[in-house]
Amino acid sequence: MSTTVIVVIDGFGVGAMPDAGALRPGDLTADTCGHVLDHCRASLGRPLRLPALGALGLGLVHPHPDLARRTSRPVAVGRAALGYPGADTFAGHQTMMGADFSRVTVAPLGGHLDEVSGALKSAGHLVEPLRGQPLLLVDGAVLVHDNLEADPGINWNASARLDDIPFDRIVSIARTVRAVAPVARVIAVGGHADGALATYVRDGDGGTVGLDTPATGFYRNGGLQVRHLGVELDHTGQLPDIAARAGLPVTLVGKAADILACEAAVRRPAVATAEVLEHTLAAVQGGRGGQGGLVIANVQESDLAGHQQDTGRYGSVLEQVDVGLTELMGLFTAPGDRLVVTADHGNDPTIGHAYHTREYVPVLIHRPDAAGIELLPDAATLADVGATAAAALGLDVAALTTGATLLGRGRGAP
């Protein structure tokens, strides 16, 4: 049986969508891929070493002097619009798996303090506003606040220092918030900060107020724990569940293990890129026993580098991913095998802020049984990526809530 692997390079956009400037006009210049390549050439004195991404056709999707302009690989390449409002990891992954996320509720926490505070008090928690601002301090340790790393009002966080409270208690508080939250995602975050969390509270866009998570040191200091609590969805219409019901092994790696639903899936959560790649390679090698199956892996450290506005680190992550992709491509030789490399949104580290950027994302499909290169039209939604994977696995694409296969809609390379 064939194997399909979707590798999501989190935050790897290839240029601003036409509506990218609706919230921040400067985002119309966003180009995560191009700006990282430019910066790294200037700082390193050499281009980034990305032979695998070049072979997969990234230079055909995003022409750049540092990317190969030709490939001999039998790839299908194109771009995808996001298919959901804003630029968000949870909404991006859920859309990619076939959910209709076109109507995400946007709601800053400040408009819902009474019901959130009431739910937490009913659950036995001590709740007080922090310095009169529109966020809540729970049990003297956990901040419930607007997420400042996605567009305003899409996500809320429950954040605390692990030195002050165990992570399971942070998650419990986040679950209580989730029960009354109208937003796409409530994220429980625990880590080791450089100081008191109140020090890092700042105003965001659109009247939001929250924790500047990158500034706290959570991403630098090790021990970060995160749990994503998403809005209720019909997961039976998403790719992992459909694949599992068809008897295919399903493996979720990295952040995908935290945010995608599938009871039958093997989960391999990880943040470190090396660990994500190791789990992904192991899942493919394990499937070579004749079972095939579906593997969905998320490389998170690219997104973290974007939030930290650390272009050098972003480039280093890309080079690390490229080495892993080289190994993966060596395993994809059977007819029907598919390796899909894509992203969930942009996160341009040069744009001047720590938010995601609303960009097209690459869709690079390695297909060893194909006769040549196919240049795909722009997909209107990430759901088409999941539908393409479903078709490759011989699944019923119509069983997905939304999405249509991309292959066969393009043209040959000149």
Quote the pLDDT of residue 414: 54
Span 221-272, pLDDT tens digits: 999 999 989 877 889 999 999 999 999 999 999 999 998 999 999 999 999 9
Alpha helices in 48-202 (DSSP H): 51-55, 58-61, 89-96, 113-122, 167-178
Residue 404 pLDDT: 95
User: Rounded distance, CA 263 to CA 265, Å?
Assistant: 6
Q: 116 near 180, Cβ under 8 Å?
A: yes
Confidence (pLDDT) at 287: 62
Q: What is the pLDDT of residues 107-133, one digit of tens each?
A: 999 999 999 999 999 999 999 999 889
Q: Quick one: pLDDT at residue 224?
A: 94
Distances (CA, A) of 5 to 192, 193, 230, 258: 34, 35, 23, 17
**What is the average pLDDT across 207-213?**
94
Return all residues near 310 (Cβ < 8 A) that are at least 6 apart: 349
Q: What is the pLDDT of the chain when averaged over all its residues?
A: 93
- With a cut of 70, say whether residue 412 has pLDDT above it: no
Question: 292 pLDDT exceeds 80?
Answer: no
Write the pLDDT tens digit of every residue in 332-366.
888 889 999 999 999 999 999 888 999 999 999 99
pLDDT tens profile 137-190: 999 999 999 999 877 888 999 999 999 999 999 999 999 999 999 888 899 999
Count other Cβ atoms within 10 Å, centred on residue 29. 16
In this predicted model, what pLDDT tens digit does every residue of 14-51 receive, in sequence order? 999 999 998 789 999 999 999 999 999 999 999 999 99
Find the distance separating the first CA and the last CA of the chain, reported in whole Å: 33
CA–CA distance, 187 with 110 (Å, rounded to integer): 17
- C-alpha separations of 278 from 282, 285, 327 in Å: 6, 11, 10
